[in-house]
Amino acid sequence: MNTFLLLPGWGMESAVWSLSRSFQDGLAELGELVMVDWRGVRSEVDFMDRVVEKAIGRRAPLMVIGWSLGSLVALDFAKRYPSFVSKLILIGGTSRFTITDGYEQAGYAPRRLQGLKRQLARDPQQTLHAFYESMFSDSERRRGFDQQFIADVEAQFAGDEVASLGGGLDYLRAADARLSLSEQPPLLLVHGEQDSVCPLASAQFIAEQAPIAMLRTIPDAGHVPFYTQPQTCLHWIQSFVKGGAFVDR
């Protein structure tokens, strides 16, 4: 039986996967789902500790699904504990969140991330709402996906402290998995073509550097394709998990 370790993004909780019931149910048909939660993290080390805590005692190797910030943690986990991971699935993934010399594929400049942290200290709710809205493409916003997502989050999330959310931003500023890409297990990258948080170029960079990588893009989708186009995401994941051919619908 497959076991999936699900790692969410920044400002998210494990409940985010259930916001698209069809996506979560489709995954559950493929294997056991083990959810990792970032609520209450206090340092960069806490992210890895949370993953290791959930992984210990599970039947290895695992299939790890990392979304956004979770993709960085997934890549780091696979590097540190290669015997625990059979495959990686990165949704809206990146190997570095912030722009640096020689790497312009990222979506955020360090200064922009620091500005987000200052805004978070002043008005946490408004900062999170603005970030959530930025995760959706223009087409998705016209269809109301952003406002529905915010309503779903408010109804189902327990909420997190500013210190914990700030720690997540610190992790995003510092994390860099680029040098480990050549050591990664087989990878599936599912990416929205209109993703402005982790631009498509960041996934293309991973696909070019990893030994075995499949990049599947979703037109008109932003940073949350498993929420806006769950069946398309499931199609690619199912094909990857079952080892079959990647055939377009």
A 10 A CB-CB count for 231 gives 12
In a domain, 247, yes or no: no
Instruction: State the total domains in the chain.
Output: 1
d(CA 7, CA 68): 9
In a domain, 31, yes or no: yes
A 10 A CB-CB count for 31 gives 15
In a domain, 186, yes or no: yes
In a domain, 89, yes or no: yes
In a domain, 152, yes or no: yes
Tell me, what CATH number does 30's domain have?
3.40.50.1820
User: What are the tens digits of pLDDT across the range 76-126?
Assistant: 999 999 999 999 999 999 999 999 999 999 989 999 999 999 999 999 999
Domain that holds residue 100: 2-242
User: What are the tens digits of pLDDT across the range 117-157?
Assistant: 999 999 999 999 999 999 999 999 999 999 999 999 999 99
The answer on pLDDT for 244 being more than 60 is no
| Residue 218: strand pairing partners | 192
In a domain, 249, yes or no: no
In a domain, 248, yes or no: no
What SS3 state is found at 181?
helix
pTM: 0.95
d(CA 111, CA 98): 9
Cα dihedral across residues 2, 35, 210, 107: positive or negative: positive
In a domain, 86, yes or no: yes
Output the six-digit token pair for 177.
């998995």
